[in-house]
Each structure stands twice: as C-alpha cells, then as structure tokens.
Amino acid sequence: MFSYWEQQSFSFYDHIVIGAGIVGLNAAIELKQLYPHARVLVLERGILPSGASTRNAGFACMGSASELLDDLSTTSAAEVVSLFAARKAGLLKLRERLGDNHIGYQCNGSHELISEAQLPVLEQIDMLNEMLLPITGIPAFRRADERIGQFGFAGIYSHALIENTCEGEIHTGMMMRALTDRAIAAGVEVKTGAEVVSFDEQAEGVTVFVADSIRAGNWQLRCNTLSVCTNAFSTSLLPHEDIKPGRGQILITEPIKGLRIKGIFHFDKGYYYFRVLDNRILFGGGRNLDFDGENTTDFNISDIIQQDLEHKLCHTILPGIEYKVAQRWSGIMGFGTTRHPIVKAISDRVFGAFRMGGMGVALGSNAAAHMVQLITERQ
C-alpha cells in the first residue's frame, strides 16, 4: 500500500535506466545532457553495481595480439577493426567525460607473455599493425623480449614478450565513484537495492515493477522510455537475447617488497591478465579452463580456477618470490555469439545496451551513447 505522496512524487519519470554500472550511468548522463529538464532515474538491484563494473581488473585495453588473432580466426578483419575502433573510442569518451585524474588512468606499459606454443603470433605482428594503423596512428605491437628478465618472469613460459603501445590502466573504484558522482551532479536520481522484476509496455508509456522489501507487492513506476543496461543479467528481463554470462575470477596479493613488474599484462589469448596495483599483483582469468562451469551468474569462486591462478602466479609471474593472497572475488561478464555488444531499440519505448564481452570499461561509454541516440530518434 503506497501513500498519496509517494504516488504523486515518486512514481513517474521521463527515462528509467536499469543498471548502475558503466553503461547505465553513462546512459543516464547522456540523457540528462540531451534533456536537462527530464526526470531520469537509475535503478540498481544491489547496493553496488551487480555485474563487473566495480569488480573488474581495471584494464583500459582494446585486445592483445593473440586475442585479436583468435578473433580473426572466426571473424572478418573488417569486424575486428571495427570492434577495436569502438573500444578505442569508448575509452577516449570515458577519459574525456571524467578526466584521467578521477579514474586513475596511467600508461605504465602493456605487455603480452608469449609461450612456446604461441610463438607463431610473432609472425603476425606486422600484419596486425598494418590492419590497425588507421585506428591507432602508430604501430600497436612490438617485440620487447629484453624485458622478460627485467620483470623477472619465468623463461620456461615467457619465450617472448609483445608490448602493446595503445593500452593503459585505471583504478576501477575511482572510475565508478567519479561516474556516480557525475550522474548525481547532473541531476540523475539513483536508487540502489531496487530490483526490477518485470516491465509492461503500453502505447502511452512503460510500467516498471520493482520488488519492495518492506511492503507487500511490487512498487510500480511509470516512464516514457526504459533502458536495460544490465549486461549478463539482461536475460532476466529480455529472455530471448543472445547473452551468456561468464564469471571472471580474480585474486590480489599483499604488498610485495622490491616488486620489479610494472604495468598491465596478458597471456593465453587474453584469458589471463595481471597488473601491479599498490605494490601488489592483481591476477585474474582462467575462464577457459571450465567454460561450462563459469557460464554462471553465481559470484562464488571455484577451487579449480583459484588453484590454477596461484600456480601460474607462483611459477610464471613471481618465480622465487614469496607472497600472500589478500583477497579473492569474481565479477560476471556478458558474452554472445559475436564479440560485438548489443545496442538496440527493443521496441518504441524499450531500449538496451548490454553484452560487453568482457570489455565494458572500453565499450561501455560509447555503447551508452549509441543507445541514447536510438532513444532520441524515437522521441
């Protein structure tokens, strides 16, 4: 049972966005910029964003050499270049919107460790550079084998090292804090702990049903447009969309004295990634060990992948160096039959931007802008 005041003042919005992650908050900001007098509401089911926006590794990346070559094995060169360009544009938009100081953006170097089995990747560097040059303006990849010893990596795995000249790193917490602050400063209303259970579209608007933990029944909100920005969780509202969840597991060590590693790193087609953060090693990945098991929205961590991460951390990344694991966590990413995100008008009043393919930091800002463009075209 709701009061008259609640029904009068808290039930109608011009635009409702579901999801307070990178995509959802960017979409709300875009809507406020275009329609400064509109009432824009963001609904988030968790206290913090529930997918990967606050749980990722903080890589401002566009794809390693082996990852791009893996894409080329199933996708045309034009599509790979298009997606690379979208990642680059999205990162630039994020940096311009919030400012590098507010997201902790740094360029401390980006490298990919090449195993013996992946040595053929080295023969494709020139081809990749030529393919991407219209986007990057400079060669994207170059050999940096001399740094293997400098960083202290185990030579038994690291037979070569490729530097990526186009990537950087961010502080995920600072980025999401700045994005939230920017949205609120713009006049966006953000409600957390508000789980959308369903919606109903009519000719005159959309009714959004939100679970009410205090009173019986659902809280009903009305809006002119509804935007679904819930990435891997979007199928709960849009069951026919091509989305599969993918859990990404991460661990971080206690501070390590005399750490020689600097920057961000990838290996094994991007399935593994690590970086230096506050004199710690943050290391994640391993989803390829158990695709079926990691096709889940369960935030728990699995022993098989955590043990694999520790083995690689001990024997490949930090051989001979003592360390202690401080924390472990996971985030849920959204994947599909292609690497491209889904940005679409689902109907005249319902829109979506989701399935970021593990690249939400890079793709999210531009995906949100493209969705809002679709909204303006329908208004």
Q: What integer is the mean pLDDT of 171-198?
A: 97
214: containing domain? 4-53+174-242+339-378
1, pLDDT greater than 70 = no
- Spatial neighbors of 353 by CB under 8 A, at least 6 apart, are 23, 27, 227, 228, 229, 341, 342, 343, 367, 368, 370, 371
How many Cα neighbours within 13 Å face the side chain of 337? 2
What is the distance between the alpha carbons of residues 237 and 176, in angstroms, rounded to a whole number? Answer: 24
Same structural domain, 125 and 135: yes
Q: In this structure, is residue 293 part of a structural domain?
A: yes
Task: Look at 132-136, 152-156, 218-222, 346-350 and tell me which has the smallest mean pLDDT.
Answer: 152-156
pLDDT at 355 over 80: yes
> Which residues make Cβ contacts (< 8 Å) with residue 300, sequence separation at least 6?
330
Give how many domains the chain has, as a whole number.
2
Name the token pair of 4.
């008259």
Same domain, 45 and 132: no
Residue 315: how many CB atoms within 10 A of its CB? 13
Query: Could you tell me if residue 273 is inside a domain?
Result: yes
288 occurs within a structural domain: yes
* Predicted local distance difference test score (pLDDT) of residue 160: 96
Please provide the average confidence, as pLDDT, over all residues in the chain. 95
Residue 173 has pLDDT above 70, yes or no: yes
Would you say 169 and 106 are in contact if contact means Cβ atoms under 8 Å apart? yes
- Do 155 and 272 belong together in one domain? yes
On whether residue 90 sits in a domain, the answer given is: no
The verdict on 327 and 189 lying in the same domain is no
78 CB-contact burial (10 Å; exposed 0-12 / middle 13-18 / buried 19+)? exposed
Claim to verify: residue 274 and residue 369 sit in the same structural domain? no
Nearest 10 degrees: Cα torsion 231, 233, 237, 240: 80
Residue percentage of the chain with pLDDT more than 90: 92
Which DSSP letter does residue 314 get?
I
pLDDT single digits (tens) 79-88: 999 999 999 9
In a domain, residue 148? The reply is: yes
First to last CA, the chain: 33
Residues 289 and 302 in one domain: yes
Q: pLDDT value at position 255?
A: 98
In terms of domains, do 234 and 373 share one?
yes
The strand pairing partners of 210, in sequence order, are: 196, 219
Same domain for 213 and 316, yes or no, is: no
In the chain, pLDDT over 70 holds for what percent of residues? 100
* Residue 227 sits in the same domain as residue 373: yes
pLDDT at residue 216 tops 90: no
Tell me the mean pLDDT in the region 267-295.
Answer: 96
pLDDT in tens, 303-313: 999 999 999 99
CA distances from 250 to 61, 225, 313 (A): 17, 36, 12
Question: How would you classify residue 278: left for phi > 0, otherwise alpha for psi between -120 and 50, otherwise beta?
Answer: left
* Helical residues (DSSP H) of 212-256, grouped into ranges: none
149, 89 in Cβ contact below 8 A? no
Residue with tokens 């989305």: 243
Other Cβ atoms less than 10 A from the Cβ of 103: the count is 26
The HSE-up count of residue 377 (CA atoms within 13 Å, CB side) is 11
Query: Which pLDDT value is given to residue 72?
Result: 95
- How far is the C-alpha of 310 from the C-alpha of 307, rounded, in Å? 5
Strands of the chain, DSSP E: 12-18, 40-44, 59-60, 110-114, 141-143, 160-164, 168-169, 189-192, 196-202, 205-211, 218-228, 244-253, 264-267, 272-277, 280-285, 325-335, 342-345, 350-354
